[in-house]
Structure 1
């Protein structure tokens, strides 16, 4: 059993309230989308999770299909919880999702009541938990009534299998509709998880405005654009990078000469701020108080520590923000 650092809560300023709820989340949360699956080294993932908790990162984000193979990230995290953090379950926010393809047949993806409830049951078995703190619908289903999908989410709370529910990849108008249904069912939506980073700013301003109106928090995924907003690609594509992996989501064509030129300019600005490019990108992601936390991935402990150090310098001058906009224009 891991003995967490007694200093992990010594900096209360690293937590931010999630919308109008009673929940606070760390400004940096750990996602297990990559690097925690069956193709990865278990002990490396275990070391990352333990170090994250030592730093005060209390939120760990998963989904049914995370791996690869699908389900393996939940299985591995369940092993880590049981071995190292089971005594600290009440200090943790553990989330999972359902929406993408998970098993064969017509009930293995999207947003039917059968799929969502079956998926959560499977996730809980893999995680070895009685409940998750947040259960998300991972993507809107164009062929299932929103009332059915939201009714299933509300049922997970009433049944005690989730404490809160959230949405992911929903557009502003879909978010507003879903939020009203959940509120009418007595289960307000806690949080929304969209993609958001310096290169992908689609949530500005409409989704952020909707979340503020609805009292929901925001937890952007890919704040480093799958590693593009780091020093990994300043001179090209390293052989061990995500862009070079067959199962990665960053494609080689995204590391274009034009993108590299922007990254290099952003890196110069980050250095002037005394930060790495990744640290500046994370600070930029949470600069708006409506963003509750930035969801990072990590392939090693040192990368996690470097990203967490972004919290040392969160403020931007108006000139710095204008320069970032100019570089990305």
Structure 2
């Protein structure tokens, strides 16, 4: 860690659910520069919290318990909230199954400490070697989900949205409405959407995917449609809030007129195609142009609005503007 990092206190948050066989090794591997560790027993049937309290001699460890299972997102929110109330500056979330290397924590924290980001997350797609080693179902699933996440979150340069290795400045976390963040496996993607609403800067951290013989938890047929629905809702809410409530610009008009023109041209053309095919009424050149031109202009407006949205990604970390002692 750099000298600057010593000015910031760092907490690690570990959701614990059926990780009893791995959690001891994870805790032993957490670096010394980490100031606090919060382990959340998410109503674990293996009683991970009791096991940690009996076996761990690390005085940095605090065990928190849920009376009922709230999911990995709910456990993360509990840990981040506890770290914020305890006065820590930055919180890092890692899993308790041993698949995330604690030695990488410094890479996730460094951009936040230097003031270059509010939130950092892992990206397993950065290295072509890592992609080649990734199971094909994970590769396909994460690619599809990553593309959908770009629309819903507004972070067009961020990939691998389901990656759970992440860090956040807690002054930014305090700005989020945590009661609305998804508590299931959609929480990483939902976090990005919530972060965009407060204009937080998000940065990808390259990391290598390590997959052995473990069975993938990513069941495409089970999560694709729920994730698609979640991304669709978030996309709609983000565009309404960013382009019609908080601000109104030329892109706002383009987002309205573009789809309207495309729909008008498509319906007008389809109707006259029907009349030509089944009623014998030949379409005139004017009718053809009246169908084609709105679609062309509308598509250009949509592309222009999307280009504005891409370039409008947050660039100034908001935690630098917050009054918080370091």
Instruction: Normalising by structure 2, report the TM-score.
Output: 0.29
Larger Rg: 2
Greater per-residue helix proportion: 2
